[in-house]
């Protein structure tokens, strides 16, 4: 009897993905642990390994296919010569007539609204995820019994037990989130959405239709899965998170001198951005209320200081994480950041390296941008936008002087962090930047 290989859920909010490449072909003998294919998510391309053994009878979803729904059949194993007969629907997510059960999010008890694409941002135990299939899913007996009683699809549940094993709490949380999602969908049907309330004709032509109408020339660049997810999450963040902004100027001359001396002493290549990461981490340790995230039930105040750093890639921004940044030296942060940035650009980060984080830094100073305001990365409560250090006239002791000044703007989720807390954080950050002798070492 053939065994169907399903499209795995590679993140808590994933409902579809791109089957980037098959590494095997029909008729190949498959051993347990053999890498079958590569699945592209919004942040990385991950390999999928086989659990069972047999002959690859059929590749159902060809490589390059986008919008492949989680839990849809992508291939089938069986005995050599056996004919595969489809057991369930497979293919693109928009062709599915039913939705898989909700995946468990590590931030337990988050409402469906606040967990819409909880940005990059949750921790998995391994980047090499196994294909699960009938009879081989790792779950405790109690979890299986509850799933059967409550009608939970275990293939859509993320396990938090040892080695990703699904435990009782995982199933109960999945039940709870499914119920909430159903309630919200029921509520949503009572009132028309803005899109439903406005006739389609009133919206007018889109950019492509308008360009065609006016005879404008253009080149189409197809939206990648990464770009689509980034667009979705930024829109949701700006529409649902109450942003407010705080700005301060920091003098950099003392930090630049301390950095130069440390690089010479350690034969290192510490950047200003590395120093900013460390200063943010120390400021969060001093003002822990800014190291927080929003949920409907509670504000989560993180005890670890894990800093997400925006890195530009061909497909958009990725935010690898410097974990425990407050306890690392500048040399350690510099070495780690260079490695993470390089692998982010090559799409080779592990999920544990970009999912999570409590605070984000976005630095456009190296591009000559003096100041800007960044969009918050939910569920985090803050993001710091860093501009370029520029020679400017400043007043010192009632006299004009020249100093290298860096402008930073803190975007804050007002549900999580109040203005006074944001101001306190920026004051701590400014103090560290302008008096680096005690920590740049």
Residues sharing a CB contact under 8 Å with residue 67, sequence separation 6 or more, in sequence order: 16, 18, 92, 93, 94
d(CA 16, CA 7): 8
List pLDDT tens digits, range 220-258. Answer: 888 887 788 888 888 999 999 999 999 999 999 999 999
Q: How far is CA 252 from CA 118, 206, 389, in A?
A: 34, 46, 7
- Whether the pLDDT of residue 391 is over 60: the answer is yes
What's the predicted TM-score (pTM) here? 0.62
- pLDDT at position 82 is 86
The distance from CA 422 to its chain's CA centroid, rounded to whole angstroms, is 24
HSE-CB at 392 with a 13 A cutoff on CA atoms is: 15
Nearest to 357 by CA among 326, 327, 321, 411: 321
Q: Which of 34-43, 332-341, 343-352 has the lowest mean pLDDT?
A: 34-43
Q: Which is higher by pLDDT, 12 or 211? A: 211
Catalytic residues: 414
- pLDDT at position 122 is 32
Domains and CATH numbers, the chain: 3-187 (2.40.50.100), 241-438 (3.30.559.10)
SS3 314: coil
List pLDDT tens digits, range 281-299. Answer: 999 999 999 999 998 899 9
Give one word for 151, left, alpha or beta, with left for phi > 0 and alpha for psi -120 to 50: left
Q: Which is higher by pLDDT, 211 or 41? A: 211
Q: Which is higher by pLDDT, 172 or 414? A: 414
d(CA 257, CA 440): 10
List pLDDT tens digits, range 37-91. Answer: 988 876 677 888 888 889 999 999 999 898 888 888 999 998 888 888 876 544 4
Question: How does DSSP classify residue 355?
Answer: S
């Amino acid at each position: 009897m053939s065994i169907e290989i399903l499209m795995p859920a590679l993140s808590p909010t994933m409902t579809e993905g791109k089957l980037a490449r098959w590494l095997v072909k029909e008729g190949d003998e498959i051993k347990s642990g053999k890498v079958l294919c590569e699945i592209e998510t919004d942040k990385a391309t991950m390999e999928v390994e086989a659990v069972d053994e047999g002959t690859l009878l059929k590749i159902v979803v060809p490589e390059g296919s986008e919008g492949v729904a989680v839990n849809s059949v992508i291939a089938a194993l069986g005995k050599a010569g056996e004919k595969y007969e489809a057991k369930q629907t497979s293919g693109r997510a928009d062709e599915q007539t039913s939705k898989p059960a909700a995946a468990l999010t590590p931030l337990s008890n988050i409402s469906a609204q606040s967990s819409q694409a909880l940005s990059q941002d949750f921790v998995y135990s391994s980047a090499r995820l196994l294909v699960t299939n009938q009879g081989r899913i790792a779950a405790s007996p109690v979890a299986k019994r509850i799933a059967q009683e409550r009608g939970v699809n275990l293939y859509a549940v993320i396990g938090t037990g040892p080695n990703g094993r699904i435990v009782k709490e995982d199933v109960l949380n999945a039940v709870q989130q499914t119920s909430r999602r159903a309630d919200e969908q029921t509520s949503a049907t009572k009132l028309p959405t803005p899109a439903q309330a406005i006739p389609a004709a009133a919206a007018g032509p889109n950019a492509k239709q308008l360009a065609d109408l006016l005879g404008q020339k253009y080149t189409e660049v197809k939206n990648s899965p990464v770009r689509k997810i980034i667009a979705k999450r930024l829109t949701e963040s700006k529409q649902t998170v109450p942003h407010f902004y705080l700005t301060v100027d920091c003098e950099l001359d003392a930090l630049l001198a301390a950095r130069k001396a440390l690089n010479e002493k350690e034969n290192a290549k510490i950047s200003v951005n590395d120093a900013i990461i460390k200063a943010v981490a120390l400021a969060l340790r001093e003002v822990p209320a800014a190291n927080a995230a929003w949920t409907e039930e509670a504000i989560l105040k993180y005890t670890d200081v894990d800093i997400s750093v925006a890195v530009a890639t061909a497909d958009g921004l990725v935010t690898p994480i410097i974990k425990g940044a407050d306890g690392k030296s500048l040399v350690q942060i510099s070495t780690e950041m260079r490695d993470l940035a390089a692998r982010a650009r090559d799409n080779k980060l592990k999920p544990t390296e970009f999912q999570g984080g409590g605070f984000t830094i976005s630095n456009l100073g190296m591009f000559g941008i003096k100041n800007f305001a960044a969009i918050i990365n939910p569920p985090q409560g803050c993001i710091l936008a860093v501009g370029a250090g520029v020679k400017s006239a400043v007043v010192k002791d009632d006299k004009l002087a020249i100093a290298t000044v860096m402008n930073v703007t803190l975007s804050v989720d007002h549900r999580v962090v109040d203005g006074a807390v944001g101001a306190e954080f920026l004051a701590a950050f400014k103090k560290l930047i302008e008096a680096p002798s005690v920590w740049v070492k």
